[in-house]
Amino acid sequence: MPREGILVRNPYERISKEQVLQIHQAALEILRDPGMMCFNKQAADIFHSSGAEVTSVSPSDRSAWLVKIPEKLVIDALDTAPKTVKLGARNPDNILIMSGEEPRVYFISGSETNIWLDVDFPSYIKKSDPSTEIRVPEFHARRGTVADLCMSAHVCEHLETLDGYIRTVNIQDKDITEDNKDVNKFFASLNNTTKHVMSGLTSLKQLDNVINMAKLIVGGDEELRENPIISFITCLVKSPLQFVDDTTDTFIEICRRGLPIVVSSSPQAGTTAPMKEAGIMAQINAEVLAGITLGQLVNPGTPVLYGSVPVRARLDTLGDSYGSVETSQYNIDCVQMARFYKLPNYSTAGVCDTKTPGIQSSIERLFSQILVTLSGPQYLHCAYGLLDCNSVFCLLQAVIDDAHFQMIKFFLKPPQIDELNIAETLKQTREVVETPQKLYINYIRRIMRSGELSVPYPFEGDGDRDTVFEMAYNRMQEFLAKPVEHIDEAIAKKIFQNIPGLLPRLNVYEERRQ
């Protein structure tokens, strides 16, 4: 049985049907004129041979082409792109099946940050009252390692609400190079979680090694097609409207292999996209449609997700402002656009501007987590543990985020209002009004043990002091102490024999023997 996710029965829609059509038409117009600047020759050739108007331009010392994509190519691509995408998993119970027409939300971690945030709890003594001693969380930033990635995948395996795993931290160990990063990040993830694993690719040269690793895990070529335990995300488009050379090559090769892929674009309103909602929406939609069109021209039927990471610029730094209200608005608009095309949507929520866990972080992330979830994206990259936009990952924050999503999932449970429940209520009411205390308490004992009631906030302390961080830290330690189902020893052995570049210390079976 695949994972259930959470079905949003009446998804929140921010823009009207007419506005959806306006954005669609504007995007088609953009693709026709001015079109896409393409820095990748393969892509230019593919578009040219498919009927697009491709002209050579040289904006600098690089080769570049202007590709004007006719509407028909886009519409044909939207026809061949699958409307349902299956993302496999080592554990069949963790498979995700997402239909573009069904607002069933899956919560996914991500994405790759350079900084890992550790936490400890030093004690402080009050100057004016030395008998008062408190523990205060202190966060320490450092560069992420492959061991951190393993730890993160391990904890994410146990986070109840987390449906799939995007690596949370960039592995920056001294022995990690461009040539071995991909195999190690995929192996570290796959070996520590049985959930679906999605990642970007650092080096195209490693694509087949990564795919072969996945084939060894599931048992072969056909098995991987049937159960794609890995998928990819590529930012082939750089805003505004440019096909990037290397990521477009990667995108084309992944499409040729038929594995699921996210066509992602991340324009920033105010700098690389227009500031106004209509503008950034028209542009991001054009950029994603351009990528989807290329993918379907390469290999019709390639499973794609409509990937949207729109963001507003901060006006004080011109950096991304994931915590801004507009960012959630853009994301919800994109969910609607993907649903208009009946394609599963990769959306973004829960990323915050602040650098450490705390009040601002909780407000920013919960704001977008709730709102974007309510719009019903299928694959919600919801930034478990992410801070400082996409720069910092804190495992403690990921554990706290899991509690947020438990609340959101509970909220989205279908209402139980039917004849049976109404009849029960009428009976109770008649009984209660006759009692001296007039309380319904006697009727809630069965309900409170049935799982029908939401539980109190899991990190609530006993006293007046805020204990969220300490309790979440304890929960994190509990998850780390819980075992995960690693890749079978015989298969792990084959992987280490056949896939070059893997770090020996990732072989848990060998490590245990030493």
Using CB under 8 A, list all residues that contact other proteins: 436-439, 441-442, 444-446, 448-449
Closer Cβ to other proteins, 442 or 474, answer by number? 442
The token duo for 187 is 């192996």
- Least distance from C-beta 444 to other proteins, angstroms? 5
Distance CA 404, CA 29 (A): 41
Distance CA 216, CA 221 (A): 9
Q: Distance (Å, rounded) from C-alpha 290 to C-alpha 78?
A: 11
Residue 14, classified by CB atoms within 10 Å of its CB into exposed (0-12), middle (13-18) or buried (19+), is: middle
Both tokens assigned to 82: 């699958």
What is the Cα–Cα distance from 200 to 112, expressed in whole angstroms?
9
Q: Hey, how many other C-beta atoms are within 10 angstroms of the C-beta on 393?
A: 30
Question: Cβ 440 to other proteins, closest distance in Å?
Answer: 9
- Nearest residue (CB) to other proteins, 363 versus 439: 439
Of 315 and 444, the one with the shorter C-beta distance to other proteins is: 444
CB nearer other proteins, residue 359 or residue 441 = 441
Residue 445 or 465: the one with the smaller Cβ distance to other proteins is 445
Q: What is the spatial distance between Cα 35 and Cα 245, in angstroms, rounded to a whole number? A: 16
DSSP output for 382-417: --TTEETTTTEE-HHHHHHHHHHHHHHHHHTSPP--
Partners of residue 345 on adjacent β-strands: 306
Residue 405 C-beta: closest distance to other proteins, Å: 24
Residue placing its CB nearer to other proteins in the complex, 426 or 444: 444
C-beta of 438: minimal distance to other proteins in Å?
7
Residues forming beta bridges with residue 68, ordered by sequence position:
53
Q: Which is nearer to other proteins, 62 or 445 (CB)?
A: 445
Supply the minimum distance, in Å, between the C-beta of residue 347 and other proteins. Answer: 38
Minimum CB–partner distance for residue 263 and other proteins (Å): 49
Measured CA to CA in angstroms, residue 57 lies from 38, 61, 486 at distances of 9, 10, 51
Let me know: does 47 contact 54? Beta carbons within 8 Å. Answer: yes
Among 299, 317, 320, smallest CA distance to 239 is for: 320
Task: Tell me how crowded residue 9 is: count the other CB atoms within 10 A of its CB.
Answer: 11
Nearer to other proteins, 134 or 439 (CB): 439
Q: What's the rounded Cα separation, in Å, for the pair 474 and 467? A: 11
Of 383, 392, 289, 286, the residue nearest 327 (C-alpha): 383
What is the C-alpha separation between 292 and 236, in angstroms, rounded?
A: 10
In 109-206, alpha helices (H)? 146-158, 181-190
Could you tell me the smallest distance in angstroms from the CB atom of residue 161 to other proteins? 23
Q: How far is the CB of 419 from other proteins (least distance, A)?
A: 22
Write the CB contacts of 19 (distance below 8 Å, at least 6 apart in sequence).
Answer: none
Question: For other proteins, which is the closer residue by CB, 55 or 474?
Answer: 474
CB of 447 to other proteins, least distance (A): 9
Q: How far is the CB of 132 from other proteins (least distance, A)?
A: 21
**Cβ count within 10 A of residue 78:** 18
174 vs 449 by CB, closer to other proteins: 449
